[in-house]
Amino acid sequence: MRVSARRVLTGLLILGGISTLTQFLRFCLPCRQPSQGAGEPVTVLVRDGWRVSSDIPLVFVGGVPRSGTTLMRAMLDAHPAVRCGEETRVVPRILGLKLGWAAEKEGVSTKVLDRAVTAFLLQIIAGHGEPAPLLCNKDPFTLKSAKYLAHLFPNSKFLLMLRDGRAAVYSMISRRVTIGGFDLSSYRDCLAKWSRATQAMLTQCTQVGSKRCLAVRYERLVLHPRSTLQTVLKFLGLPWHEGVLHHEEAIGKPGGVSLSKTERSTDQVMRPVNLDALTRWVGHMPPDVMADMDAIAPMLGRLGYDPKANPPNYGQPDPQFLNNTQRLLRGDFKTPVASLHLNGRPLMSMKGSQTER
């Protein structure tokens, strides 16, 4: 078939027209700035020679305060491959700040802001303690932002500590642990807030997915430490280490458990894992609150803690750890706080250390 010169010319003209139009459009349409390494992981220099990227494996431990979060992180700290360290206090604050910026229309793009938050978090989490193959962070309320953290740190995992709300609330009220938003003069208010917070965190945990978020019950941890920790370590992809069952021996040691003098659970977590705190709340709930329990704190029932049972049957303890509790009740671990030494420094109790929202 003969292709006429005219047709070829027309075809070329058309192509030329299209390309001119495209070039013209290039100037008319808003052009996108070439992203500078937006896909690369955020990397920060923590200390001389130690660089940390946002794609490192990380574990975030959290939950409503007084749910065994410190115990869990102390047991993990006893594992040679993990370092959690104390509550940073600032991690939840920067997350809260970021939440308030979500509505910002202009200024910086979300991508840049996320990178900036990631860089900040990495510096704090890595910088506040010693290096370790698996870095970990324990600030209770961070699990309210689990989904966001999962997005910032693609290789992060989450441990959500759950506990009978009545026990948690009894602990915060009897020990006067100030927590932002919780009215310590009212069991009703605290239980309702506990329920709401637990629900929020559980929702986040579910959204992150079972491969990356594991909910651990405090009761199960203290009744069956070995099997619970086996599950946890398997979830984290870590080999078993017997030291996690004796975290109290690793306190203040290098590569072990570092405790803060000002945290409210320090005096408890210095002792071996025990059942002392399991049912202490019984008899302390006001009767009107007990009557409305299911309405005040619906999460109790949903998590399987019978709102009408005082206390519910949490289960049978492992015999080998029963010994710890018996020794505790005998007074074996009741060392006067003033003479205790942490990291070579004398421990002085400080009042009113507020757990951050």
Q: Which residues bind another protein (CB under 8 A)?
A: 10, 14, 17-18, 21-22, 25-26, 29-34, 36-38, 40, 42-46, 85-90, 93-94, 97, 101, 104-109, 111-113, 115-124, 127-129, 258, 260-263, 350, 353
Which of 87, 130, 249, 263 is labelled catalytic? Answer: 87
In the complex, least distance from residue 11 CB atom to another protein, rounded to whole angstroms: 9
Rounded CA-CA distance 144/141 in Å is 6
Cβ proximity to another protein: between 111 and 284 the closer is 111
Cβ proximity to another protein: between 121 and 208 the closer is 121
Q: Is 87 tagged catalytic? A: yes
Rounded CA-CA distance 37/230 in Å is 40
In the complex, least distance from residue 29 CB atom to another protein, rounded to whole angstroms: 6
- 78 neighbors 247 (Cβ within 8 angstroms): yes
CB atoms within 10 A of CB 201: 27
Pick the closest to residue 215 from 232, 227, 200, 237 (CA basis).
232
- 157 neighbors 214 (Cβ within 8 angstroms): yes
**What long-range pairs does 35-38 form, CB within 8 A, spacing at least 24?**
35/111, 38/111, 38/115
In the complex, least distance from residue 10 CB atom to another protein, rounded to whole angstroms: 8
Cβ proximity to another protein: between 5 and 31 the closer is 31
Cβ proximity to another protein: between 93 and 220 the closer is 93
Pick the closest to residue 176 from 190, 164, 188, 162 (CA basis).
190
In the complex, least distance from residue 67 CB atom to another protein, rounded to whole angstroms: 19
Active site residues: 87
